[in-house]
Structure 1
Amino acid sequence: MDLSIMIPELLKALPLTLAITFTAMVAGFLLALIATTFRVRRIPVLSQLADLYVSYARSVPVVLQLFVAFYGLPLVVALFEVEDFVSPNVAAMVGLSLYHGGYLSEVLRPAYLAVERGQHDAADSLGYTFLQKILRVVGPQAVHIALPGYGNSIIYLIHNVALVMYIGAADVMATAHLVMERDYNQYQFETYLVLAVIYSLLCLVAWIVVRFFETRNAKFTPNTAPAKATMMASV
């Protein structure tokens, strides 16, 4: 196979892969913040629902979560009496956002709890609201603890984006399979090797960005939490 033909075809599908990844990163982060807030504050009913959501996201295989989103979203949309067609791309974004949010909540929650109790008490004594305490006192320290685990979660998300081909999303992996079928599966090794390079580069870029923020954050945030908290955050 001529790589000068195959690689451009795969790169044409790269924007969709990046769009799904970025959407899941942002939406998943927001879901994780909401779920973590409910869990650490132990808000009745909401905390139990958040625990159930996190358990679902972490226990159910990602490919199964994608199928649930793909077949479940049209049912939800139909309740509002609007067009019930949900594209595979939208289902992929929703499914991966839910997965990433639940996984990331298990990174943020230990990071929040690892901040010394005295920091919480000091913020409370100053009359800070919960939001003020997060933004001014606890949040910066929790971010310092959570960054390694957050970096891992991004890497896992990039890996799992490759599964969206099973619900019909035309990402890089799906395009590669179409290329191989067109060429009667004669160049499987070469195609998968190119895919490996693409995903490795995506993960490398993500690691460099997270590492940059780790280094930058370390300059301004004192490491007040115990070392074992960092291990908890990266699990």
Structure 2
Amino acid sequence: MLPELLTAMPLTLGILFVAMIAGYFLALITTVFRVRRIPILSQLADVYVSYARSVPVVLQLFVAFYGMPLLAGLVGVEDFFSSNIAAMIGLSFYHGGYLSEVMRPAFLAVERGQHDAADSLGYSFFQKMKRIVGPQAVHFALPGYGNAIIYLIHNVALVMYIGAADVMATAHVIMEHDYNQYQFGTYMVLAVIYSLMCLAAWLIIRFFEKRHARYNSKSAARTRLTPSV
């Protein structure tokens, strides 16, 4: 069964990577709105994060699958949407909202003096994020970001419920062809595949954590600012 399961891996990884990248930028934009408390936009961002965290992921996928074509129909492009596109959109919105709750505490964890020092030097918000606060916030965000990626890998298995032919859906097709004789063995193979994906994600995040720790130790004096008296 393994060769058949591996034929579905490109789609599974494609959905995963699109949701990972799109969710990251959604989380970044949402976090900026929430941190800066921009009127109306910050309230909308709070509602979005609450939706992403409160609604079950499988329900978010159904909302994307049935809701996006309705919105696309308003501009006449409803035929563009498929179960794969809906899976990417649904998981991107989920991952963006969840990841925003990782980025925002990481931003707030940076000492207030660092913000004040950057403001006293006349840095804009984006300059402050790029040069001062951002590098320090990454240290706090990396562990939570690793957990968010692992949760995303887990939830990719739910896209089969909206018709996406991922690894999980392919496994069910295989079991049906075998008259459900080898269910335990099939699910154990799936467990190994998802465990290897999570292990790879953990190793990558762990690598960046160690690298960032070494970077911080070398550039602490250059990165951290002390306001002049």
TM-score, structure 2 length as denominator?
Answer: 0.94
Report the count of equivalent residues. 219
- Answer yes or no: is 1:181 the counterpart of 2:176: yes
Deviations 1:94-147 (A, max 9, x none): 000000000000000000001000000111111111110000000000001000
* Whole-angstrom CA distance in 1 between matches of 2:191 and 2:210: 28
Q: Is the 8 A contact 1:75 1:84 kept in 2?
A: no
Amino acid at match of 2:3: P
Partner of 1:45: 40
- Answer yes or no: is 1:138 the counterpart of 2:133: yes
* Whole-angstrom CA distance in 2 between matches of 1:161 and 1:18: 9
Match of 1:59 among 46, 49, 54: 54
- Answer yes or no: is 1:125 the counterpart of 2:120: yes
- Answer yes or no: is 1:200 the counterpart of 2:202: no
Partner of 1:228: none
Q: Tell me the SS of whatever aligns to 2:157.
A: helix
* Whole-angstrom CA distance in 1 between matches of 2:196 and 2:141: 23
* Whole-angstrom CA distance in 1 between matches of 2:110 and 2:146: 20
Q: Is the 8 A contact 2:33 2:41 kept in 1?
A: yes
Amino acid at match of 2:194: Y
List structure 1 segments (4+ residues) > 4 angstroms apart after TM superposition: none
Mapping of residues 9-88 of structure 1, within 5 Å: 9-88=4-83
Deviations 1:177-202 (A, max 9, x none): 00000110000011001000000000
Q: Is the 8 A contact 2:70 2:78 kept in 1?
A: no
Partner of 1:233: none
What is the percent sequence identity of the aligned residues? 77
Show structure 1 runs of 5+ residues with no match: 1-5, 225-235
Q: Give the superposed CA RMSD.
A: 1.2
Q: Is the 8 A contact 2:34 2:45 kept in 1?
A: yes
* Whole-angstrom CA distance in 2 between matches of 1:176 and 1:113: 44
* Whole-angstrom CA distance in 2 between matches of 1:84 and 1:38: 33
Amino acid at match of 1:109: R
**Offset of residue 85 of structure 1:** 4.7
* Whole-angstrom CA distance in 2 between matches of 1:221 and 1:104: 23
* Whole-angstrom CA distance in 2 between matches of 1:132 and 1:189: 54
- Answer yes or no: is 1:155 the counterpart of 2:153: no
* Whole-angstrom CA distance in 1 between matches of 2:80 and 2:126: 39
**Offset of residue 84 of structure 1:** 3.4
- Answer yes or no: is 1:95 the counterpart of 2:95: no
**Offset of residue 81 of structure 1:** 1.8
Match of 1:107 among 102, 120, 139: 102
Q: Tell me the SS of whatever aligns to 2:79.
A: coil
Q: Tell me the SS of whatever aligns to 1:81.
A: coil
* Whole-angstrom CA distance in 1 between matches of 2:100 and 2:61: 19
Partner of 1:191: 186
TM-score, structure 1 length as denominator?
Answer: 0.91
